[in-house]
């Protein structure tokens, strides 16, 4: 009748490969092709600039409320860069860059945050769910997708994103639990950006890490420097490979920081101090990656400047394209896509709107 330590099958690790100054741990450094490294850099930079432009559009009143991603580019990109096109993904709402990498057109974001339902269209060939604003509810969908993949014996995996706040939701635990029980090929990516609107990470949970929550559900969990794209990529690649080969789910906590606002309706000066933000600005994921690429002779200042120009032109094209589509929405289309077949009771309501619209039009013409 001893009293002794229980050996758990998994440990919780921490992984950092590229530090904030751009120094790399040569032993841990993943061997990525120059082409992929440059593609990742371009995507991160483009994601940052797009984010800034979206913020401007909101401040100018050209779109509505929108959640910026600034500071979290590596967390998102390092993870999705390990996926195949045929894999599936369910996201929360601060994964703009992950979605762009996976093929969602940039103009969709402008449309969506500009109040047009059309912006959440999932184009044929894309296997990603539209964003889920209800915090913590989308992880279960990835688990179900993973269970279905397993049932169909398909070689795909499902990746799901969520924030530190979501780990307090019941659905987070139900998702990890189901994934563990059914050994679903799912990769849980937690973007721990330290703040859930005004609630700091320490007030979400008394646990030392979020990654350790994997252990209670019988799966590996790892905490990585979320501003280090090499670390995120390495951890995600291991997890994806494990899931694809039947090894079940993994939880990855990307330790990062929300440099900007929760959404454009938020004022962080009310709850956090500037020093903290400055400290994290020094850990920026993009600048350290640029040092790394420069040290590898893959990138020059001139190269960055040319890229910046290219990206600015691209973003302008996207904005123009989106704003052209944002005029005169047909109200009647709000009745679309409720059911596969419109029931008679709904048809009556739609007809009522059509009648009122034509009446209003007639009155306007007579007036």
Closest separation in Å from C-beta 362 to another protein: 24
Closest separation in Å from C-beta 150 to another protein: 9
263 lines the binding site for another protein (CB under 8 A): no
167 lines the binding site for another protein (CB under 8 A): no
The answer to whether the beta carbons of residues 278 and 284 sit under 8 Å apart is no
- Indicate if 258 belongs to the active site: yes
88 lines the binding site for another protein (CB under 8 A): yes
Nearer to another protein by Cβ, of 118 and 323: the residue is 118
DSSP 185-222: -EEEEEEE-SEETTEEHHHH-SSS-STTHHHHTTS-EE
Q: Closest Cα to residue 353, out of 323, 333, 332, 339?
A: 332
149 lines the binding site for another protein (CB under 8 A): yes
Residues whose CB is less than 8 angstroms from the CB of residue 307 and which lie 6 or more positions away in sequence, other chains included = 42, 45
Annotated catalytic residue within 217, 258, 288, 292: 258
332 lines the binding site for another protein (CB under 8 A): no
Among 337, 355, 361, 362, binds another protein (CB under 8 A): 337
Residues whose CB is less than 8 angstroms from the CB of residue 179 and which lie 6 or more positions away in sequence, other chains included = 143, 146, 186, 188, 217, 219, 248, 249
Taking contact as CB under 8 A, which single stretch among the options 126-134, 218-226, 295-303, 358-366 is the one that binds another protein? 126-134
Among 130, 165, 185, 220, binds another protein (CB under 8 A): 130
Taking contact as CB under 8 A, which single stretch among the options 11-19, 149-157, 239-247, 264-272 is the one that binds another protein? 149-157
Count the site residues for another protein by CB under 8 A: 46
> Which residues does the annotation mark as catalytic?
258, 262, 271
């Amino acid at each position: 009748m001893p009293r002794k330590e229980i050996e758990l099958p998994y440990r919780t690790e921490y992984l950092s490969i590229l530090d904030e100054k751009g120094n790399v741990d040569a032993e841990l450094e993943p061997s990525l092709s120059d082409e992929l490294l440059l593609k990742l850099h371009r995507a991160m930079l483009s994601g940052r600039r797009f984010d800034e432009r979206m913020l401007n559009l909101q401040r100018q009143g050209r779109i509505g409320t929108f959640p910026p991603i600034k500071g979290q580019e590596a967390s998102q990109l390092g993870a999705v860069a390990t996926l195949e096109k045929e894999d599936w993904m369910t996201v929360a709402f601060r994964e703009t860059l992950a979605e762009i990498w996976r093929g969602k057109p940039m103009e969709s974001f402008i449309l969506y945050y500009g109040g047009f339902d059309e912006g959440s269209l999932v184009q044929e060939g894309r296997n990603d769910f539209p964003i889920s604003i209800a915090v913590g509810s989308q992880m279960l969908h990835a688990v179900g997708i993973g269970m279905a993949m397993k049932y169909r014996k398909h070689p795909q995996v499902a990746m799901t994103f969520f924030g530190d706040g979501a780990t307090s939701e019941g659905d987070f635990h139900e998702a990890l639990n189901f994934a563990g029980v059914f050994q679903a090929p799912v990769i849980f990516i937690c973007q721990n950006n330290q703040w859930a609107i005004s609630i700091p990470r320490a007030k979400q949970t008394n646990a030392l890490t979020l990654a350790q929550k994997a252990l209670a559900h019988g799966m590996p969990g790892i905490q990585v420097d979320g501003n280090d794209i090499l670390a995120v990529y390495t951890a995600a690649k291991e997890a994806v490979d494990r899931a694809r080969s039947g090894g079940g789910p993994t939880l990855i906590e990307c330790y990062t920081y929300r440099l900007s606002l929760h959404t454009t309706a938020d004022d962080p000066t009310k709850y956090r101090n500037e020093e903290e933000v400055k400290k994290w600005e020094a850990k920026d994921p993009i600048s350290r990656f640029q040092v790394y690429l420069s040290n590898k002779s893959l990138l020059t200042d001139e190269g960055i400047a040319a890229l910046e120009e290219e990206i600015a032109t691209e973003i302008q094209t996207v904005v123009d394209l989106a704003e052209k589509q944002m005029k005169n929405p047909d109200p009647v289309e709000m009745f679309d896509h409720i059911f596969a077949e419109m029931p008679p009771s709904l048809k009556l309501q739609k007809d009522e709107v059509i009648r009122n619209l034509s009446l209003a039009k007639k009155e306007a013409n007579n007036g």
